[in-house]
Amino acid sequence: MSEQSQTIPPGVLGPDRTGAPPETEPSHPPHLQALLSRLEGLAADVARLEARLSQAEAESRELRAETARLDEDLDESRRLNLRAAELLDVVYTELGKQAPRGEAEERGNGE
C-alpha cells in the first residue's frame, strides 16, 4: 500500500489526510478517468484480498496449533498404548505366579 500511495494522487484510494487544501478537481481526459476508476476498483480488490489473507493467516495459525495438539494427543495415545502393554504384562506375570498356589488351594479344599 505504501508504494501505491506514492504513485496515486491523494484521495483516489480514500480520503485525503495530507491536510493540504483541496484542489479543484481537474478535468481528466476520458482514458485517464477510466484508468482512475479502474484503480479505485483495484484498491477495493486489494483491500478485500488483504482481509482474506489476514483471515487465512489466522486460520492457518489455528490449524497449526490444532495439528500440534493432535500430534501431542497421538504421541500420548501411543505412549499409553505401550503403558497398557506393560501393565498387562505385569498383571499376567503376577497371575501366573499366583496360579499354582490357587490350584493347590483348590485341591486342598476339595480334599
Partner 1 sequence: MSYTIHADSNVLILTGPALPPDHTLSVLLGNRRIWTFRPSDADTSVSGDSLTVRWPPALARRLSGSAELSLLGEGRPISAPFKVHFDDSDADFSLVEPGTGIPQVINKWGRIARSFEGRGTALVEDVLDQAENLISLVRTKMDIDLFVTGGTLLGPVRDGRIMANDDDADLAYLSAHHNPSDIALESYALEKMLTAEGYETVRHSAGHLQLNFPGESINDRFYIDIFTYFVVNGWFYGTFHARERASDVQVLPLRNLDVNGRKLPGPAEPAQMLAAIYGAGWSTPDPAFRFVTPPAARRRFHSWLGDLDADRENWEDYHRAEIAASEGPPPPSEWAERLAAELTPGSKILELGCGLGADALCFADAGHDVYAVDYSRPALHYLASRTAPVEGSLKLRRANLNSLRPAADVARWSSQGGKPLHVYARLLLDSLTPGGQANTLLLIRHVLQNHGPGSLAHIEINPEPADFHDAWNNYRHVDESYLQKQLELQGLHIQDRTVQRKGNNGQPGHIQLSINVRTP
What Rg value do the Cα atoms of the chain yield, rounded? 38
Minimum gap (Å) between residue 87 Cβ and partner 1 = 7
Residue 56 vs 74, nearer CB to partner 1: 74
Residue 38 vs 78, nearer CB to partner 1: 78
Residue 75 vs 106, nearer CB to partner 1: 75
CA torsion sign for 77, 83, 89, 93 is negative
Please state, in angstroms and as integers, the Cα–Cα distance from residue 9 to each residue in 18, 20, 39, 56, 68, following that order: 11, 12, 11, 31, 47
Binder among 58, 65, 88, 95 for partner 1 (CB under 8 A): 88
SS3 for 18?
coil
Q: Which residues contact 28 (CB under 8 A, 6 or more apart)?
A: 36
Minimum gap (Å) between residue 66 Cβ and partner 1 = 18
Q: Which of 12, 16, 18 is nearest to 42 (CA)?
A: 12
- Tell me which residues in 46-85 interact with partner 1 (CB under 8 A): 74-75, 78-79, 81-85
Residue 50 vs 75, nearer CB to partner 1: 75
Binding interface with partner 1 (CB under 8 A): 74-75, 78-79, 81-90, 93-94
